[in-house]
C-alpha cells in the first residue's frame, strides 16, 4: 500500500479544527487531528509546507518508522506545533491500519481492558446555587464524576466558569477561545481563590454526599507553596484530583507540593513528549497523566507513556476539551480502552455543527464512553461540511493581576 495524497483542512464549526486526511492507492482513507487552540494555522502550515510531500509514496503500514522519521529528521524535535503535526500523521496511519485490518484501533492496541470509559464533565457556577444546578444537570446526563469550577468573589472572570449564553452553540460549559483579533483579558487574585475554593467544596460535599468523584483544575496559577496549601485544605473533601496546581514547567516544585498533601495530582495537558513526564513519573510526583493524543504526537507515544506510568501505578486522565477534535478524542478513547492503567476521561461534548463535520461512532451511555466497533478510529470526516465552515481567528484569554502584571491563565 502507498500514500497517494495528503491534504490539510482548517474548519470552524463552532471552533477551529485542523485535520489531516491521507489517501492510499488501495482506496483507504485515514484522518488525524492537528488542532492547536489559538495557533491552528501554524500547524496547518507546518503540515502543508514541510510534511505532506514527505508522505507521498510511503507505505502507511509503517507507523512507528514514519513517526521516528518525522520526529528525528526535523532535527529540532518537540514543541506543540511539531508534535500536533506528527500526531495527525500517526492517528491517520492507525486509522488506515484499522481499516485495512477491518478492526477498531483498540483491537490493534491489545483489545479492550474494560467495558467502557468512565468520564467526567465540567460543572461550574457563578454562585453556589448555579454550581449545584450545573452539577445536577451533569448527573442527569449520566456523568458519574464532575469537575467543579467556580467564580471567586472580587474577580470578574475566572477560567472554567460558564458564560451566561453560548453564542457558539457548543454543548459545553464555557468558551475558552474568544473569536477576534486580540485575546480577552481576565483578572486573577490567588489569595482570594485560596480562601474561597475550600468553602465551595465543603458546600458541594454537604449537598451531594461523599460518593461523587469531584475534580478541580487549578490551571497553572499557583506557586508550589500555594498549591501545597490548597491540596491540604481540600483533603477533607476527598478530591479525585487537583489538576495543574502549578505551571507545568516547574517540575521540581511538585516535590514540595507532594510533601504536604495527599490530594491526588494530575498534570500534562501542555506536555508534548514522553520526556516531559520523565521526572514526574519516575519520582511519582503525579497520579494522573493528562496528555492529549493530539498534542503528544498521537496514539503511539500515548501508549508508551502509559506503559511507563504503569510501572509506578500512575493512571490516565487524558485531556479531552472540545479543542481536541472528535478524531483526537477517538484516538485517546482507543488507547484508554486498551491500557490496564486507565483512570478517567475528560468529556465536554462537541456541538451539533462539529458532529456534522466529524461523524462519530463514539457512544456515551450511562456515564461511560466507548469508541465503537467501526474499523479504524470510528470517525468520518465530511469534507463538504468542513468546507462550509471557514477558519475564524480566535484566541484563548489571558490573565492580569490587580497591578497589571501578566499572570498564568
Ligand atoms: C482542561 C483544559 C482546557 C484548556 C484548553 C486550552 O482541563 O480541559 O485546561 O480547558 O484550557 O484546552 O485550549
Ligand atoms: Mg486543564
Give yes or no for residue 177 having a pLDDT over 80.
no
CA distance 254 to 327: 32
Do 152 and 259 have their domain in common? Answer: yes
Q: How far apart are the C-alpha atoms of 356 and 353, rounded to whole Å?
A: 5
Is residue 195 scored above 80 in pLDDT? yes
Residue 396 maps to a domain: no
173 shares a domain with 76: no
Q: Which 8-state DSSP code applies to residue 38?
A: T
| Tens of pLDDT, residues 92-103 | 999 999 999 999
CATH of the domain at 217: 3.20.20.120
Nearest CA to ligand 1 atom 2: 321
Dihedral (Cα; 280, 349, 7, 4), 10-degree rounding: 80
**Is the pLDDT assigned to residue 168 strictly greater than 70?**
no
Q: Which region among 86-90, 102-106, 155-159, 241-245 has the lowest average model confidence (pLDDT)?
A: 155-159
pLDDT greater than 70 at residue 166: no
DSSP string, 43-59: HHHHIIIIIHHHHTT--
What's the whole-model pTM score?
A: 0.96
Is 379 among the domain residues? no
397 in contact with ligand 1, CB cutoff 6 A: no
Q: How remote is the CA of residue 355 from the centroid of ligand 2, in Å?
A: 23
Q: Looking at residue 170, what is its pLDDT?
A: 45
CA 225 – CA 13 distance, rounded (Å)? 41
SS3 assignment, position 367: coil
Burial (CB count <10 Å: 0-12, 13-18, 19+), residue 296: buried
Q: pLDDT tens digits for 137-154?
A: 999 999 999 999 999 999
Same-domain status, 188 and 298: yes
The rounded Å distance from CA 45 to ligand 2 centre is 26
Least confident of 6-20, 170-184, 186-200, 336-350: 170-184
Query: CA 396, 400, 401: angle at the middle one, nearest 5?
Result: 150
Whether 295 sits among the annotated catalytic residues: the reply is no
Domain boundary among the residues 104, 131, 160 is at 104
Residue 180, pLDDT score: 82
Our measurement of the distance from residue 142's CA atom to the centroid of its chain's CA atoms, rounded to an integer in Å, reads 20
Task: Tell me which ligand sits closest to the C-alpha of residue 344.
Answer: 1
**Burial of residue 384 (number of CB atoms within 10 Å: 0-12, 13-18, 19+):** exposed
Q: What is the mean pLDDT of residues 274-303?
A: 98
**Pocket residue to mutate for ligand 1, from 217, 291, 296, most atoms within 8 A of Cβ:** 217
Domain region containing 150:
117-373
| Distance of alpha carbon 84 from alpha carbon 99, whole angstroms | 23
Q: Are strands 265-267 and 241-243 parallel, antiparallel or unpaired?
A: parallel
Average pLDDT over residues 50-59: 98
Q: State whether the beta carbon of 287 lies less than 6 angstroms from ligand 1.
A: no
Count of domains for the chain: 2
Burial of 380 (0-12, 13-18, 19+ CB in 10 A): middle
Task: Give the number of whichever ligand sits closest to the CA of residue 320.
Answer: 1
Residues comprising the chain, all counted = 409
- State the Cα–Cα distance between residues 16 and 401, nearest whole angstrom: 29
Task: Flag whether 384 is in a domain.
Answer: no
**Quick one: 99 and 122 in the same domain?**
no
In terms of domains, do 207 and 337 share one?
yes
Give the rounded percent of residues in the chain with a pLDDT score beyond 70: 97
User: What Cα–Cα distance (Å) separates residue 235 from each residue in 114, 201, 205, 277?
Assistant: 30, 10, 12, 25
Domain limit, last residue, from 52, 77, 104: 104
Closest C-alpha residue for ligand 1 atom 8: 321
Quick one: 225 and 349 in the same domain? yes
188 falls within a domain: yes
Mutate to test the pocket of ligand 1, among 18, 174, 176 (most ligand atoms within 8 A of CB): 176
Considering 122, 219, 220, 319, which one is annotated as catalytic? 219
- Cell digits of residue 79: 514543541
Kindly state whether residue 152 falls inside one of the protein's structural domains: yes
Is residue 39 located within the same domain as residue 180?
no
DSSP-derived 3-state class of residue 107:
helix
pLDDT at 176 over 70: no
Question: From the CB of 40, is ligand 1 less than 6 Å away?
Answer: no
How confident is the model over 20-45, as a mean pLDDT? 98
CATH number of residue 90's parent domain: 3.30.390.10
Q: Mean pLDDT throughout 185-205?
A: 97
With 80 as the cut, is the pLDDT of residue 163 above it?
A: no
Indicate if the pLDDT at residue 40 is higher than 60.
Answer: yes
Q: Is the pLDDT of residue 25 over 70?
A: yes
Q: Residue 366 above 70 pLDDT?
A: yes
Q: Report the distance separating Cα 391 and Cα 115, nearest Å.
A: 38
3-state SS of the chain: helix, strand, coil percent to 5? Answer: 40, 20, 40
42, 85: one domain: yes
In the structure, what pLDDT confidence band is assigned to residue 128 with cuts at 50, 70 and 90?
very high
- Residue 145 maps to a domain: yes
Report strand pairing: 315-316 vs 265-267. unpaired
Distance between CA 403 and CA 78 in Å, rounded?
A: 35
pLDDT at 230: 98
What are the tens digits of pLDDT across the range 206-262? 999 999 999 999 999 999 999 999 999 999 999 999 999 999 899 999 999 999 999
Per DSSP, the residues of 77-98 read: --SHHHHHHHHHHHHHHHHHHH
Residues 38 and 130 in one domain: no
Ligand 1 atom nearest to CA at 290: 7
Q: What is the pLDDT of residue 167?
A: 43
Q: Give me the residue label for grid cell 481492558.
A: 113
CA distance linking residue 56 with residue 399, whole number of Å: 44
Beta bridge partners of 364: 369
- Please report whether residue 391 resides in a domain: no
C-alpha grid cell, residue 8? 490539510
C-alpha cell at 249: 514547567
Task: Say if 401 falls within a structural domain.
Answer: no
Instruction: Judge whether 319 counts as a catalytic residue.
Output: no
Label the pairing between strands 117-125 and 368-370.
antiparallel
**What atom in ligand 1 is closest to the CA of residue 244?**
9
Candidate of 149, 321, 409 to mutate for ligand 1, largest count of ligand atoms within 8 Å of Cβ: 321
**137/242 same-domain check:** yes
Q: Which atom of ligand 1 is nearest to the CA of 37?
A: 13
Mean pLDDT of the chain: 95
Point out the ligand nearest to the CA of residue 267: 2
DSSP 239-267: -SEEE--S-TT--THHHHHHHH--S-EEE
Verify whether ligand 1 is closer than 6 Å to residue 176 (CB atom): yes
Residue 175 beta carbon below 6 angstroms from any ligand 1 atom? no
For 262-272, letters b (16+ CB in 10 Å) and e give: ebbbbbbbbbb
- Indicate if 167 and 146 belong to the same structural domain: yes
Residues 190, 228, single domain; the answer is: yes
Amino acid at each position: 500500500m502507498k500514500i497517494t495524497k495528503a491534504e490539510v483542512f482548517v474548519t470552524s464549526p463552532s471552533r477551529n479544527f485542523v485535520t489531516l486526511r491521507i489517501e492510499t492507492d488501495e482506496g483507504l482513507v485515514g484522518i488525524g487531528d492537528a488542532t492547536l487552540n489559538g495557533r491552528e494555522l501554524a500547524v496547518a502550515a507546518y503540515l502543508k509546507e514541510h510534511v505532506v510531500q514527505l508522505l507521498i509514496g510511503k507505505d502507511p503500514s509503517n507507523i512507528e518508522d514514519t513517526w521516528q522519521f518525522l520526529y528525528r529528521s526535523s532535527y529540532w524535535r518537540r514543541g506543540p506545533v511539531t508534535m500536533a503535526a506528527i500526531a495527525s500523521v500517526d492517528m491517520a496511519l492507525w486509522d488506515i491500519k484499522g481499516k485495512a485490518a477491518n478492526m477498531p484501533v483498540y483491537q490493534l492496541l491489545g483489545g479492550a481492558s474494560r467495558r467502557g470509559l468512565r468520564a467526567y464533565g465540567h460543572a461550574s457556577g457563578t454562585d453556589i446555587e448555579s454550581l449545584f444546578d450545573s452539577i445536577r444537570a451533569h448527573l442527569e446526563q449520566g456523568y458519574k464524576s464532575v469537575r467543579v469550577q467556580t467564580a471567586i468573589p472580587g474577580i470578574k472572570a475566572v477560567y472554567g466558569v460558564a458564560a451566561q449564553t453560548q453564542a457558539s452553540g457548543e454543548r459545553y460549559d464555557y468558551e475558552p477561545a474568544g473569536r477576534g483579533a486580540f485575546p480577552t483579558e481576565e483578572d486573577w487574585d490567588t489569595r482570594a481563590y485560596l480562601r474561597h475554593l475550600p468553602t465551595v467544596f465543603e458546600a458541594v460535599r454537604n449537598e451531594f454526599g461523599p460518593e461523587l468523584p469531584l475534580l478541580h483544575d487549578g490551571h497553572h496559577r499557583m506557586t508550589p507553596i500555594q498549591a501545597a496549601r490548597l491540596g491540604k485544605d481540600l483533603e477533607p473533601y476527598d478530591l479525585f484530583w487537583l489538576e495543574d496546581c502549578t505551571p507545568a514547567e516547574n517540575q521540581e516544585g511538585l516535590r514540595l507540593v507532594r510533601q504536604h498533601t495527599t490530594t491526588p495530582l494530575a498534570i500534562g495537558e501542555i506536555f508534548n513528549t514522553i520526556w516531559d513526564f520523565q521526572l514526574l513519573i519516575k519520582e511519582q510526583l503525579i497520579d494522573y497523566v493528562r496528555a492529549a493524543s493530539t498534542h503528544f504526537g498521537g496514539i503511539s507515544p500515548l501508549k508508551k507513556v502509559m506503559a511507563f506510568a504503569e510501572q509506578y501505578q500512575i493512571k490516565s486522565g487524558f485531556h479531552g476539551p472540545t479543542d481536541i477534535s472528535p478524531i483526537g478524542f477517538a484516538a485517546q478513547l482507543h488507547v484508554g480502552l486498551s491500557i490496564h492503567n486507565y483512570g478517567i476521561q475528560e468529556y465536554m461534548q462537541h456541538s451539533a455543527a462539529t458532529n456534522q463535520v466529524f461523524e462519530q461512532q463514539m457512544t456515551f451511555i450511562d456515564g461511560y464512553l466507548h469508541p465503537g466497533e467501526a474499523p479504524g478510529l470510528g470517525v468520518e470526516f465530511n469534507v463538504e461540511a468542513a468546507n462550509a465552515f471557514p477558519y475564524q481567528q480566535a484566541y484563548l484569554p489571558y490573565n492580569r493581576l490587580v497591578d497589571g502584571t501578566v499572570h498564568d491563565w
